[in-house]
């Protein structure tokens, strides 16, 4: 038997480590590298919380008239502190998730970038915006402390705000997104009233849209070749209303008439009206409108209710129901009278028939055997 000398313990450990590295190297090459973006756990804390009137949003770059159109009535101001630095967070409770989404799109600037991993959160040089469920958050970053509050600090604060509020309605409750082909990022807006439309579309007569009839507008800027055009997708409650609104646009603003650059074109697709503004040519406007396709079900043609007040429409509905009830009562009374007269006629002229026999003279025979 030949005995080998025992290797030192330190040398054996080194050989084992080298063997492990050689064995695991192919596995390490086979795996794709991955990166996880971590948000620094900044120590934000709420030091004060107070209710305020909607007019206070003017101090933070907001417009009370626009916010009121989205259903906001009051606001909440939270003072958040990070070390010796403080920021004011304006919380606006909206009626639902779609209106909070509309506020974010209206106030978002083109220079704001979306926050990775968090939908409807945007950060810019002036501050940050966030929509979480039915809540809209506005975080101004004043110029005096802009150098002290970094983007990472804002991301940490947005994460804390998002985690402190439930998401609420599902994503399906938000409006369908505009077609992405050619859409300029950051230009999308969701409008629910004339004040917002006048500010977002200063060159278009917002009164023609028909917000009082339930119109909802999605708009975005598109690049078509070397030019840029604005596309409006206006949704109405019924196809009949969309047909009437399109006819009004054709009369007032000469829709679909080529006047050179800046002409306005449009078409109707079911309950939608698609309008293209500032198009250089008919072909470019048509290419944008062709991004939309009509799909759905057949809708029965109904009489357009017009612009009657809701009280008048409810009164007409109640009156129609009363008339319907009277018709049913008349049918019941008339049927009873016809039944009685037919019995009397049969008793007099057809007394030997089953219908004309007297009630007390009818004999029922039971054949039991």
Average confidence (pLDDT) over 326-351: 86
Q: 24-65, pLDDT tens digit by residue? A: 444 444 444 433 344 444 588 889 899 999 999 998 889 999
Whether the Cβ atoms of residue 127 and residue 140 lie closer than 8 Å to each other: yes
* Confidence band of 358 (pLDDT split at 50, 70, 90): low
The yes-or-no verdict on residue 13 having pLDDT over 90 is no
H-helix or E-strand containing 358? none
pLDDT, position 98:
93
Query: For the chain, how many helices (H) and strands (E)?
Result: 8, 12
Neighbours of 258 (CB within 10 A): 11
Contacts of 137 (CB under 8 A, 6+ apart): 89, 90, 91, 92, 128, 129, 130, 131, 158, 161
pLDDT, position 5:
43
Tally the residues of the chain.
Answer: 369
Residue 65: both structure tokens together: 């008239």
The yes-or-no verdict on residue 306 having pLDDT over 80 is no
- Tokens 């025979």 sit on residue: 365
Whether the Cβ atoms of residue 178 and residue 220 lie closer than 8 Å to each other: yes
In Å, what is the CA distance from 151 to each residue of 128, 156, 267, 274?
A: 9, 9, 43, 38
The yes-or-no verdict on residue 298 having pLDDT over 60 is no
pLDDT, position 29:
43
Question: What CA–CA distance (Å, rounded) separates 339 from 344?
Answer: 9
pLDDT, position 368:
67
Most confident listed range (60-74, 145-159, 245-259): 60-74
pLDDT, position 266:
93
The yes-or-no verdict on residue 330 having pLDDT over 50 is yes
Whether the Cβ atoms of residue 246 and residue 231 lie closer than 8 Å to each other: no
Question: What CA–CA distance (Å, rounded) separates 146 from 142?
Answer: 6
Whether the Cβ atoms of residue 73 and residue 55 lie closer than 8 Å to each other: no
The yes-or-no verdict on residue 21 having pLDDT over 80 is no
Report the candidate in 126, 147, 138, 54 with the shortest Cα–Cα distance to residue 90: 138
Strands 272-279 and 127-132 come out as unpaired
pLDDT, position 339:
84
pLDDT, position 295:
46
* Confidence band of 360 (pLDDT split at 50, 70, 90): low
Q: Which residues pair with 274 in a beta bridge?
A: 233, 267
Question: What CA–CA distance (Å, rounded) separates 168 from 289?
Answer: 34
- Tokens 């009363």 sit on residue: 322
pLDDT, position 106:
96
Pinpoint the alpha helices (H) of 179-281: 194-200, 239-252
Residue 240: both structure tokens together: 């009949």
Domains present along the chain, CATH in parentheses: 45-170 (no CATH), 189-289 (3.30.1710)
Whether the Cβ atoms of residue 134 and residue 95 lie closer than 8 Å to each other: yes
The yes-or-no verdict on residue 7 having pLDDT over 50 is no
pLDDT, position 90:
94
Residue 128: both structure tokens together: 């940050």
Query: Considering the chain, what percentage of its residues have pLDDT values greater than 90?
Result: 45
Question: What CA–CA distance (Å, rounded) separates 51 from 42?
Answer: 26
Whether the Cβ atoms of residue 245 and residue 255 lie closer than 8 Å to each other: no
Task: Share the mean pLDDT of the chain.
Answer: 81
Average confidence (pLDDT) over 224-231: 87
Residue 25: both structure tokens together: 């190297």
The yes-or-no verdict on residue 22 having pLDDT over 90 is no
Residue 237: both structure tokens together: 């409650």
* Confidence band of 262 (pLDDT split at 50, 70, 90): confident
Q: 133-166, pLDDT tens digit by residue? A: 899 999 999 888 878 888 999 999 999 998 887 7
* Confidence band of 345 (pLDDT split at 50, 70, 90): confident
């Amino acid at each position: 038997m030949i005995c080998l000398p025992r290797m030192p313990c330190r040398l054996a450990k080194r050989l084992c480590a080298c063997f492990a590295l050689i064995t695991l190297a192919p596995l390490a090459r086979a795996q794709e590298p991955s990166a996880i973006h971590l948000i620094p756990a900044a120590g934000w804390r709420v030091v004060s919380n107070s209710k305020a009137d909607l007019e206070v949003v003017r101090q933070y770059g907001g417009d009370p008239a626009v916010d009121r159109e989205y259903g906001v009535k009051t606001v909440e101001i939270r003072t958040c502190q990070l070390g010796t630095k403080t920021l004011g967070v304006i919380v606006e409770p909206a009626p639902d998730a779609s209106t909070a989404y509309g506020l974010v799109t209206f106030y978002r600037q083109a220079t704001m970038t979306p926050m990775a991993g968090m939908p409807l959160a945007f950060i810019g040089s002036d501050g940050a915006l966030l929509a979480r469920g039915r809540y809209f958050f506005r975080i101004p970053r004043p110029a005096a402390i802009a150098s002290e509050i970094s983007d990472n600090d804002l991301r940490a604060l947005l994460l804390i705000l998002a985690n402190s509020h439930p998401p609420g309605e599902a994503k399906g409750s938000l409006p369908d997104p505009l077609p992405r082909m050619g859409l300029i990022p950051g230009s999308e807006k969701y409008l629910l009233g004339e004040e917002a439309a006048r500010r977002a579309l200063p060159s278009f007569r917002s009164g023609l849209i028909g917000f009082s009839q339930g119109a909802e507008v999605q708009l975005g800027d598109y690049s078509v070749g070397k030019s840029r055009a604005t596309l409006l997708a206006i949704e109405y409650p019924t196809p009949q209303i969309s047909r009437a609104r399109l006819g009004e646009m054709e009369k007032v603003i000469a829709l679909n008439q080529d006047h050179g650059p800046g002409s306005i074109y449009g078409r109707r697709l079911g309950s939608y009206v698609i309008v293209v503004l500032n198009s250089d040519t008919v072909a470019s406007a048509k290419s944008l409108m062709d991004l939309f396709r009509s799909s759905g079900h057949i809708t029965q043609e109904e009489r357009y209710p017009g612009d009657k007040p809701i009280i008048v429409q409810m009164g007409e509905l109640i009156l129609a129901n009363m008339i319907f009830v009277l018709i049913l009562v008349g049918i019941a009374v008339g049927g009873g009278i016809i039944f009685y007269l037919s019995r009397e006629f049969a008793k007099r002229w057809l007394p030997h028939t089953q219908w004309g026999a007297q009630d007390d003279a009818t004999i029922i025979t039971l054949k039991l055997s």
